[in-house]
Chains A and B, each alone.
Chain A
Amino acid sequence: MSLAAEAFVSQMAAAEPWPETATLYQPLKEDQILLSDCASSLAVQAYLRMCGLPVQVVCRANAEYMSPSGKIPFIHVGNQVVSELGPIVQFTKAKGHSLSDGLDDVQRAEMKAYMELVNNMLLTAELYIQWCDDATAAEISRPRYSSPYSWPLSNILAYQKQWEVRRKMNAVGWGGKTLEQVYEDVSQCCQALSQRLGTQQYFFNKQPTELDALVFGHLFTILTTRLTSTELAEKIKSYGNLLSFCRRIEQTYFEDKSSS
């Protein structure tokens, strides 16, 4: 989003309260959405639920092309459209909803740093496994990604996406990595998160922050998604406190709503 538009949005946002009709768009849940998009979408949903802001989830086959930044997910609130967790957090903050107000400067710095750790390592690893591991790309990612389209277009779009992600991997220096090294990185990242969490309920004491939402989105999605191998999920399962952390957030923010 451009700066001018952002400034405009935050001004507008302050004026209006959160509407009941807010919607979150993501790709088709059953046949299309991929692990990384699903994780980002779940992170935003968890964040909004932690803030107590109602949002209706809508699945659209062309969600990627509807999003202003081309990234999943995005929310449509009133007459504004905001995509990705970072800008959405700023957007809700402008509306007076924030989870990180109680933190001091050092804690806020650490929270931002850990959020980038998740983006830099977990998200990149998810993209790598989806598009750079040949078995996963052929069996899962390409067929699912192109499921809404008919033959010639489906192949073109899927390979285009794969090509784009592979170039990105080369740019961030992941191009030469093997699958084992990527699993090793995931393990390292989970260990760091597990160390930071320790025995606390949430990453910063008793109150959840956007970091908790982001970590939950990624870990929960990895744990509950079936891939060609279970190794990625196994890496997380060796950290007991992360598992119970996921369970806790699921129970607190997702199960209550569905049962009531």
Chain B
Amino acid sequence: MAAPAELFCWEGSWGLPSVDPDCLVVLAYAQFAGAPLKLKKISNPWRSPSGSLPALRTNQKETLSRPSDIIIYLRKQKYNADFDLSAKEGADSLAFISLMEEKLRPALIYTFWIETKNYVDVTRRWYAEHMPFPLNFFVPGRMQHGQLEKLRLLRGNESLEAGEELEKELYRDAAECMNLLSQRLGSHKFFFGDSPSSLDAYVFGHLAPILKSKLPNGKLQQHLKSLENLTNFCTNILLLYFPRDGRESSSQKTSSQPEGGDFDHVPNKRRKQFLSALVALGAMLSYALLTGMVSIQHVQQEALEAPPDLQTIGSHEEEEGDG
């Protein structure tokens, strides 16, 4: 076998293996199917081969970025979590995945990226803290812009703005979608039979961020917590398939309490120090150049003009010496 494919994902937080729903879907599916992937958790989208996350770089150096494409690729590599499904169950999976894409995804975008308080306090903060230095100033804002654009196109409304009415509409759809999923799951452990399939991966990827994030406006979370079987479903998958991330969160909880004095634990401290020194140096240099440029060039011109004078003087002296 050739080297395993490389999977690029957003870093995890809040006790989740990744903060991004799409990344979670792919990670969960890979775990369910037992696919050996070389996992690279990064927090810099520019280091991903496709420029966005998640991304899978296959052995043939192809890059896939849509979760469904990645799942189809893994399936073709014989890592199939849906092997035991009957044709009808496969059809049901497809239908419920569509249901989530249409009803739950817009609310998820809204609650993480558009709702002002959530975005400023949690989402932007998280991405800004985790991205390397120059990117953290503009990439989160650009991501938000992209998500707003996406929501507008999904809803077919060009002038869509954050507001109470939109929020109610989206949350009502999302709550209905969660109720439908809860009814479909019933008292089972997974959606189909005893082992998880791609539908379980999608449900987990969409619901786990709602359940685990600590958003100031947590209406979706409240609703999800009222549906006991879905909450258990998510925590079960976390325990069974991502035991390490779950434990990290409990240890993080205790250590992350003194949030204010956390500056000692800045990641890539050395590099950041170096970069800020470099920027300061650059600023000083450019200031010097802007104000003192003329004098520098003047000196150089003098230096260029000077040698002939010297030479003539020298030759004069030689002539004098000869004579």
| Residues of A that sit less than 8 Å from B by CB | 2-4, 69-71, 105-106, 108-110, 112-114, 116-117, 119-121, 167-168, 171-173, 188-189, 191-193, 195-196, 198
Contact = CB atoms under 8 A, between A and B. Distances in A.
B154 A172 contact: yes
B121 interface: no
Contact of B98 (A108, A120, A173, A195): A120
Given A112-B180, A113-B180, A192 B103 contact: no
Contacts of B94: 117, 121, 188-189, 192
A2 B172 CA distance: 12
Interface stretch (B84-92, B136-144, B216-224, B230-238): B84-92
B187 interface: no
Please classify how large the interface on chain B is, using the bins under 10, 10 to 19, 20 to 34, 35 or more: 20 to 34
Contacts, number: 80
B181 A71 contact: no
Contacts of B161: none
B243 to A, nearest CB: 31
Chain B interface, DSSP helix/strand/loop, else mixed: helix
A109 B180 contact: yes
B163 to A, nearest CB: 10
A148 to B, nearest CB: 22
B129 interface: no
Contact of A117 (B87, B98, B154, B181): B98
A143 B149 CA distance: 29
Contact of B99 (A105, A112, A171, A192): A112
A195 B180 contact: no
B95 A171 contact: no
Contacts of B92: 110, 113, 196
Given A112-B180, A113-B180, A171-B150, A191 B91 contact: yes
B98 A71 contact: no
Contact of A116 (B101, B153, B165, B186): B101
Interface in B100-126: 101-103
